[in-house]
Structure 1
Amino acid sequence: MRKNGNELLRKAKKNKNDEFYTQFIDIEREMKHYQNQFKNKVVYCNCDDPTKSNFYKYFAYNFEKLGIKKLIASCYIDDELSIFNYDQEKTCGYYYEYTGKKEEILVPTLNEVTYFEGNGDFRSSESIELLLQADVVVTNPPFSLFREYVEQIIKYEKNFLIIGNINAITYKEIFKLIHENKAWMGINMGRGISGFIVPEHYNLYGTETRIDEFGNRIVSSNNSLWLTNIDHYVRHTDILLNKTYKGNEDKYPKYDNYDGINVDKTKDIPRDYRKAMGVPITFLHKFNPEQFEIIKFRKGDDGKDLSINGRIPYFRILIRNKKI
């Protein structure tokens, strides 16, 4: 009995951390930078309830403007009893396809959706069948399954625009994609993402929580980002470098275990340094692969974390200026 109780609590905690729903304004704020890249595309939101998801609503409302060919949204329903679905009648996931025809419902109700035989998990064969139809996937996947989610998108060679935690770029699987120029950060991150809607059972606490005019409970985590493989202008815009290394060597200490200097902030990258520099992971938000080369992540020549006089700074990315 105790084992089952602990498992329920573990699952409840994971589910709670995954129940962060994206606001319409944040989708709109990011999507405005990709307006011409969805024409004649099949868009799949595979972690979204089509009856209420803001991802589905955004693409349905902007269907003609974006020139979308078809919109699909599918919803996962937990098929195991938990504190989050104990009063739920159906345990099957469902989906809805919208092609802009007059006889279709812009935002469906539960009477209009099509039910899966299973729970609608994005990893299920039924969901993958829908994924195979898609050109691009846009959603807020479960944070606890972020690695697995990205792995599936890459496996099926889909374009994507998804929300994740900033720390996701420290995962070796995700950083490998960034290093190989197969994925990059979107336009907005941190405070550029205004907050997530959370369910009633989520306790609001701290200064970064509020209830909006529609009664939505909002948590502003300030540690989220968009990850994508759809091109945008930032990737082709040089970072303006106003600092110099010569004459300011004391501000750029060298690593104990790597021939390179430490730079605490992206804005402090010196324009006159030719060798390796360690920068914070937030550098990737402004990373232009035409301006900088990524050498490696986090580790020194000895295989241990980069250190300065024995002190280990938070994750560093080693880069080199390609334009000197």
Structure 2
Amino acid sequence: MRNHTAITTFILLGLTDDPQLQILTFILLFIAYMLSITGNLTIILLVLVDSHLKTAMYYFLQNFSFLEISFTTACIPRYLYSLSTGDRTVSYSACLSQIYFEYIFVVTEFFLLTIMSYDRNVAICKPLHYVTIMNPRVCKMLVFCCWMMTFLLIVPLFILLLGLEFCDSNAIDHFACDANPLIKISCSDTGLVERMVIICSVLIFILTLMCVVLSYAYIIRTILRFPSAQQRKKAFSTCSSHIIVLSISYGSCIFVYTKPSSKDDMTMNKGITLFPTSISPMLNPFIYSLRNKQVIQAFNDLVTKLYSSQGTRAMLK
């Protein structure tokens, strides 16, 4: 066995060493995090309490909001703590746990976005059979399959990460623990791990993207056959929110993972990574709600009920 010093603590280098930029970053990330939690919790609550939102589309949206909350919570609070206290250290077990949950939530999101594309496909291409095809049992099974496929893909990769040794550097060039910067500082043979990362990325990213493109190809073909312009406009409107979210999710990943890994590009990639981890979870509830009359109506009804109940209590007192 080779001699080496076992590293049990890592240092997260973060985004910047400038104190003023750190304060600004903390304020912006804190606001974005609170808005994302509030917005996504609101959607989850609305789907739970409003009978008009008991459909497959909103069931998937509810699960997507839960994943958004989970993913941003796995990434951002630890960095906010680091910015506020100056403590950049993270234990080995905490770092590996963060990587595990980040990957579980983000990969499940990609699978769920694919399922949501299929849901829009059925709604537009087979509207008369929509309720029958996308019944509650099928919806629950599809969500369960998303989690199971993620588990089967991520666990083997995570087991390989657990086998890495670290003996020279413990500085992770990122604001959160991530597989790629962790592999770069390992003194083990990382060939197998790197190949597994590439294989998993291709299976998840390319296959889900292909399914999404095929779904929307059928959707567009069906919409173009509609006789009236009003019908075509309404059909495109039902897909617009999902298309925007897909563009944000896939676009940010393409930008990060297709750029060269030079030092300057790595700094830019860390900044771009803030988009899917913080900005996107904040924007998605607004994208879905502001373009959806049913969600807006459900929110207004909930506010009215809460206001009425408070008024009744005040009168009783």
TM over 0.5: no
Q: Please, what TM-score do these two structures have when normalized by structure 2?
A: 0.23
Q: Please, what TM-score do these two structures have when normalized by structure 1?
A: 0.23
Q: Considering fraction of residues, name the structure with more helix.
A: 2
Structure number with greater CO (CA < 8 Å, separation at least 6) is 2
